[in-house]
Structure 1
Amino acid sequence: MFQITPQAFSLDISDNSLKIALLKKKGRNLSLESFSQIILPPGLVQQGDIVNPDEIANWIKKAITQVEGRRIKTKYVLTSLPEERSFVQVIPLPPMKSQEINNALQWEIEAHIPLKSDEVFLDWQLVEPYNKKAKQIYVLIAATPQNIVTNYVRALDMAGLLPLALEVASISTARSLIEKGKSQNPTAILDLGIDRTAFLLYSGKTLCFTANIPLGSQHLTQAISEKMSVDLNTAENLKTKVGLDEKKGKEILQSCQPILDQIITETQKYISFFQHQCPLDYAPCESVKKVLICGGGAQLFGLSAYLSLGLKIPAELANPWINILKPPLKSVPKLSFTESLGFSTCLGLALGGLELIP
C-alpha cells in the first residue's frame, strides 16, 4: 500500500503576526506558490502563548484568504511552535536502536530541561556524529510545554485546519538558512524580531542549541523616540529610512547603540558557551566563522557592518532562498529578498513539509 503525504502550507505564528507560505515541487526545482503576512492585534499571542485561540483562528482564516499567488485549497498545515517557550539542545545517549530512543528520552529529558517528560510535546532527531569513533549517540531534542501546544492545536482546529507537523521555530529557521543542512564551520544565526532576538548555533549537520535575547526592533524604535523626542511612528520611519548611517543621522545611531551593544554582548556570551563545550563528538567545534542575520529587523541599514565590528566576526544577511531557488533562476519570486528575511522560519517550515513528500 502506498502512503501519500498531502500537500500542506506553512504557518508561522508569532506575538505580532501570522505568516503563510506554500512551496511546490516542479521537477527538480521549487517554487513559492502562495504567501501572506498579517499583523495581529496586541495581546492575542503573548510570549509565544496563544491567549485567545478562537480569535487567532479568525485571523488565520483571514490570512489564508489574503494570500498572494495561488489560492490555498488544502486544509493541511505545518505550524511553528514558539522558540521562547521551547527547549532545544543536543543530548548524549548510550548506543541503542532508533526505536528505543523515544523510550529512553522519557527518562533522560528531565535531566536537561526544567519540565517533567509528561508535561512537554517532544520532537527529536538523531544527529549524524562528526566524530565517527564516538562512543555515544547524540539526539537533537525540541521540547515545548503541552499547554502551549494545546492552544496551538485548538486554534488550528477552530480554523478548520489539520496539523501535519508542529516544529519549534529555530529548527525551521536553520533548515531555511543553512545550505544543504551542512555548515563546515560553526555558524551563529541572529533572528531579529519585533520584541526579541533568537540566537541559534549551527555546526556540522545539526542545530546545537538556541537562546533568546529579549531585545528586538521595537526597542530600537523606542530608543530613537525617547532620545529624539518624536512619536513612535516618526521614530520607525527614521529607523527605516536612515538606519545606522552616521552621516545621515548620527543621533539615530547613538540611540540604537546601547540596544545593539547588549545584543552583541549576549551573542558573545552564547558563542563563548558553545566553545567551552568543545571538543564535541557530534559537530565541528572550531571558532564561529560567520553570523547570519534574518528576521524583520534584519532590514536595518548598516546592521551587518555594526555587528561585524562589535563581534569581530563577519556578519551578513542570511539568504532564505538558498535551499529553494537553484541557478539559473526560472522565475523571480513575488516575495522580495528584503521581505523574505522575515519569512525565514515560514519558508523553512514549508521546506520541511516537502521533505515529507516521497
Structure 2
Amino acid sequence: MPIKPAVIGLDISDTAIRLAVIERAGKKAILKSYNDKKLSAGEIVNGEIKDAKKAVAAIKDLVSGAKGSKIKTDRIVSVLPEPKTYVKVITVPQTDKDNMDETIRSEMVNHIPYSIEEVYYDWQLVHGGKQEKKIEVLIGVAPKKIVDDYTKLIEDANLIPLALEVEAAALTRGIFFQSQAEQTPSIVIDFGASRTGLFVYDESLVQLTISLPISGDAITKTIADTLKIDSTKAEEAKIVCGLDEKKCKGALRKVLHDNIELLAAKIKDAQDFYANNYDHAHAISQVILTGGGSNFLNIDNVLKEKLNINVKIAALKDNIVVPKALPEHKIQSFNTAIGLSLRGNA
C-alpha cells in the first residue's frame, strides 16, 4: 500500500508552538514525529508576530529536536491565529458562476471588520442549487498582513509553506478524522493556555467560531491565588483533583464555580444563536472538549450535568496511532497540528 508524502503540521499560539507529522497508508494514519516548545513572552501577542527572530529560532529548534522519527521533509502546513481569522456562513443571491466571486465579495464586507482590499479569503458552497434565489456559502477570511507575516516566518525557518489554514478547520479535521461522529452536529471547545475557542461543527463543516473569555492560564492563576499555591502545583491539581467532588475535598469545584457556570452559559448561548440564525442548522447533540485544558479531571461530567447533552473528551487515539512515548496529558494539545499535517497529505 503506497505511503503518502509526509507534511509537517505547525500549530502556533501566543504561548507555545507544536508540530506533528502524520504518515498515511490507505486509511491508516500514524503520528510519526511530534514536538512542542514554549515561547517566551512577547514573541507572539494576540496572534501577531512581535519578535520574528526569536520565533524563527524556536521553529528551527522545534523541527530539529522532533521526537519520534527524524523529520526529513521541509514542506509544511501552518495554522493562522484564531483571533485574527473569520469563519462564517453567509447568504448571497444566486448568480452565474462567472459573477459568483464578486457577489460574495460584495456581501462579505458586511460581515468582517476589514475592507476587502486588506484580506485574503476563500469560500465554498454550503447550500443552494441553480433553482434557488439564495445560496449559503462558507467564507474564511484573514488579514493580508497576518498571512504574509506567517508565510515569511515559515520561509525564514527554511521551510516551504504549502498552505495556511484557520485553526477551526484544522482542529476539527484532527478530531473527526475517519470518525463516525463526523456527521453529528457538535460544539467543539478548544481549551488553550491564552484563549479558548468554540466551534460549531455541522454537516461536516465549521459553521461558526466564537472566542470565549476563558483560558487555561487564567484558571491556573485563579486556583493558585485562591489556594495560595504556586502555578506548578495548580496545574497538577487540575489533573489530579479537577472538578471531582471526591478528590481534594472538592476544593477546585468550589474555587472554579463561576468559571464553569460562565462556560456552560456560553455554550448554551452558542446553541441558541446557531439554532435561531442559521436556516439549515441541526440541533447540537454533543460537545467535544479538546486542547490542554480538557485534561481537567471530570470537566466532561460536570458540563454534561449542566447542559443536559452528551459531553466527551476528543478521542484522538481512536483514529490515529499515537506513540506510547507521548504523555497522555499532552495528547489533546496536538490535535490542531495533527489536523494540519492531515491536510498536507490528504
Q: 2:331 aligns with which of 316, 327, 340?
A: 340
Q: Aligned AA for 1:199?
A: L
Identity %: 28
User: What's the CA shift string for 1:39-60, capped at 9, x where partnerless?
Assistant: 1111211111111112111000
1:147 aligned residue: 145
1:353 aligned residue: 344
- Displacement of 1:16 in angstroms is 0.9
1:136 aligned residue: 134
- Displacement of 1:314 in angstroms is 1.4
User: What's the CA shift string for 1:213-266, capped at 9, x where partnerless?
Assistant: 021111221111121122222222222221112222222221112112111111
2:164 aligned residue: 166
2:260 aligned residue: 260
CA distance in 2, matches of 1:141, 1:337: 35
Q: Aligned AA for 1:26?
A: A
What SS does the aligned partner of 1:200 have?
Answer: strand
- Displacement of 1:67 in angstroms is 0.6
Q: 1:290 aligns with which of 286, 310, 326?
A: 286
Q: Does 2:113 match 1:114? A: yes
CA contact (8 A) 1:14 1:48 kept: yes
Q: Does 2:267 match 1:276? A: no
User: What's the CA shift string for 1:272-326, capped at 9, x where partnerless?
Assistant: 100112532xxxx33211000000110110110111112221110012345545x
Q: Aligned AA for 2:153?
A: A
CA distance in 2, matches of 1:97, 1:332: 50
Q: 1:307 aligns with which of 303, 306, 315?
A: 303
- Match runs of 1:103-252 below 5 Å: 103-127=102-126, 129=127, 135-178=133-176, 180=178, 183-249=182-248, 250-252=250-252
CA distance in 2, matches of 1:321, 1:277: 35
- Displacement of 1:135 in angstroms is 4.3
What SS does the aligned partner of 2:316 have?
Answer: coil
CA distance in 2, matches of 1:98, 1:174: 29
CA distance in 2, matches of 1:80, 1:302: 30
CA distance in 2, matches of 1:21, 1:183: 22
- Displacement of 1:124 in angstroms is 2.4
- Displacement of 1:7 in angstroms is 4.3
Decide whether aligned partners of structure 1 residues 234 and 28 sit closer, same or farther in structure 2, where only a CA change above 3 A counts.
Answer: closer
| Gap regions ≥5 residues in structure 1 | 326-330
CA distance in 2, matches of 1:156, 1:345: 17
Decide whether aligned partners of structure 1 residues 134 and 185 sit closer, same or farther in structure 2, where only a CA change above 3 A counts.
Answer: farther
CA distance in 2, matches of 1:105, 1:171: 20
Decide whether aligned partners of structure 1 residues 186 and 27 sit closer, same or farther in structure 2, where only a CA change above 3 A counts.
Answer: closer
Deviates more, 1:162-171 or 1:251-260: 251-260
- Match runs of 1:6-17 below 5 Å: 7-17=6-16
CA contact (8 A) 1:179 1:322 kept: no
CA distance in 2, matches of 1:170, 1:299: 20
What SS does the aligned partner of 1:41 have?
Answer: coil
What SS does the aligned partner of 2:72 have?
Answer: coil
Q: Aligned AA for 1:137?
A: I
CA contact (8 A) 1:24 1:32 kept: yes
Across the aligned residues of Structure 1 and Structure 2, the Cα RMSD in angstroms comes to 2.4
| Gap regions ≥5 residues in structure 2 | none
CA contact (8 A) 1:199 1:210 kept: yes
Q: Does 2:77 match 1:78? A: yes
Decide whether aligned partners of structure 1 residues 259 and 165 sit closer, same or farther in structure 2, where only a CA change above 3 A counts.
Answer: same
CA distance in 2, matches of 1:111, 1:315: 34
User: What's the CA shift string for 1:169-197, capped at 9, x where partnerless?
Assistant: 01111112235587444210000111221
User: What's the CA shift string for 1:94-145, capped at 9, x where partnerless?
Assistant: 3346665444333222011111111112132332x38997543322111111
What SS does the aligned partner of 1:12 have?
Answer: strand
Decide whether aligned partners of structure 1 residues 269 and 336 sit closer, same or farther in structure 2, where only a CA change above 3 A counts.
Answer: same
- Match runs of 1:37-116 below 5 Å: 37-96=36-95, 100-116=99-115
Decide whether aligned partners of structure 1 residues 230 and 247 sit closer, same or farther in structure 2, where only a CA change above 3 A counts.
Answer: same
Normalising by structure 1, we get a TM-score of: 0.88
What SS does the aligned partner of 2:345 have?
Answer: helix
- Displacement of 1:66 in angstroms is 1.1
CA contact (8 A) 1:32 1:333 kept: no
